[in-house]
Amino acid sequence: MYRVITSKRRIQSLQNKLVEQFKRQSDEIRYPILGHQGGSWKEEVFYSEKFNIWFCGFRAENRFWNALGLGEPVDEVNANITCEINFPFEDINRRIAGVFAEDEFGNEFILHRGKIGGGRRGIGKALFQEQYRGKYVTAIDGEVDTEFALIGDVNSEKLIQQIASFVREVHRIKEGGGTVVAPEFTFNEEFFGKKKISGREETEAICNHGIIVNALASVLEENGFNIGKDKNRDLFTHSSGELRNIFEVKPDYGNSSLYSAIGQLIIYSIGNKAKLFVVLPTGLKSSIIKKLHTVGIEIIEFNWVDETPEFIGIEKIKK
């Protein structure tokens, strides 16, 4: 279980880590014009050419204000803010969307409440929750349990890539990314329960979930598939109003991940004839692959190449 961090000292320390990560992994400092409803001003931002993302973070009146945008910023030219990941100075403030959290092993994460502004009617938390393709986690949030979008692991070398994936998701949602919600089928709990994190490697894996889902979505769109997602399915393709393929993405192939994937695919495919896929890193034993085939589940594998997942087996997907 995750718990929202409320200590003023720890929040300040984690904000410092976030800023230092961007400073270290950025290529250039630029001075574009930033703005919101309160006005506009010239500000220092850090730009990563590798992930095509810029970041600006500082201490505002009642929060750590962290603005992010896509594309290369230009000095003294307006830069569009795609999203903000802000944190309260201390305690719980549900009006501020970002939080730092920790799990039972002391791993530290950035989470988001899903409150996205867009300046247009209909863009907000409800739309985000409907269309977000990343990972959700539940965290102890003061006196209540709250569902958050998981952005990344504060101490991971992939943190900036994880944040960039989140920012692209927000951009896609705001621009009307075309995600179609499948016919409703409700089921309140995951079939085999939540995956437990037992070490740094598994922590890294769960934080990379959104990167893998978005990469697969891009490949499917490039190959002419109509894609969608909902809270029960990581990704699916559809045609003529019917589900054609359902994908469950697991960044590792430990027993708990496999059990969860099998259960989710079977439960959430009830009532349709979709082809079922579990998406895993390469290396799964052939004997296990054969057993998955006996219950109607195909495998799509991936390797990390230059920090990007490359998929094997796309040709198995039916249109």
Q: Are 139 and 9 part of one and the same domain?
A: yes
Residue where one domain finishes, among candidates 135, 154, 177: 177
According to the model, what pLDDT value does residue 189 have?
Answer: 27
DSSP state of 197: P
Q: Are 194 and 162 part of one and the same domain?
A: no
For residue 311, what is the domain's CATH number?
A: 3.40.1350
Q: Which token pair is 39?
A: 């006005």
182 within some domain: no
pTM: predicted TM-score of the whole model, two decimal places: 0.79
What is the Rg, in whole angstroms, of the alpha carbon atoms belonging to the chain? 20
According to the model, what pLDDT value does residue 231 have?
Answer: 75
User: What are the tens digits of pLDDT across the range 80-128?
Assistant: 999 999 999 999 999 999 999 999 999 999 999 999 976 677 788 999 9
Q: Are 294 and 151 part of one and the same domain?
A: no
Residue 289 CA to residue 66 CA, distance in Å, equals 44
Q: Are 125 and 201 part of one and the same domain?
A: no
Residue where one domain finishes, among candidates 145, 177, 209: 177
According to the model, what pLDDT value does residue 178 have?
Answer: 47
Q: Are 156 and 253 part of one and the same domain?
A: no
Residue where one domain finishes, among candidates 177, 197, 220: 177
Q: What CA–CA distances, in Å, run from 16 to 67, 252, 273?
A: 15, 30, 50
According to the model, what pLDDT value does residue 119 have?
Answer: 64
Q: Which token pair is 126?
A: 């409800």
Q: Are 134 and 261 part of one and the same domain?
A: no
Residue type, 230: D
Q: Are 195 and 173 part of one and the same domain?
A: no
What residues of the chain score a pLDDT lower than 50?
Answer: 178-198
183 within some domain: no
Domain with 17, as residue range(s), is 1-177
Give the number of domains in the chain. 2
Those residues with Cβ within 8 angstroms of residue 21's Cβ, 6 or more apart along the chain or in another chain: 159, 160
**CB-based burial label for 289 (10 Å; 0-12, 13-18, 19+):** middle
Q: Are 81 and 199 part of one and the same domain?
A: no
According to the model, what pLDDT value does residue 190 have?
Answer: 26
The helices-and-strands tally (H runs, E runs) of the chain is: 7, 19
According to the model, what pLDDT value does residue 226 have?
Answer: 93
Q: Are 9 and 92 part of one and the same domain?
A: yes
According to the model, what pLDDT value does residue 253 have?
Answer: 82
According to the model, what pLDDT value does residue 193 have?
Answer: 29
273 within some domain: yes
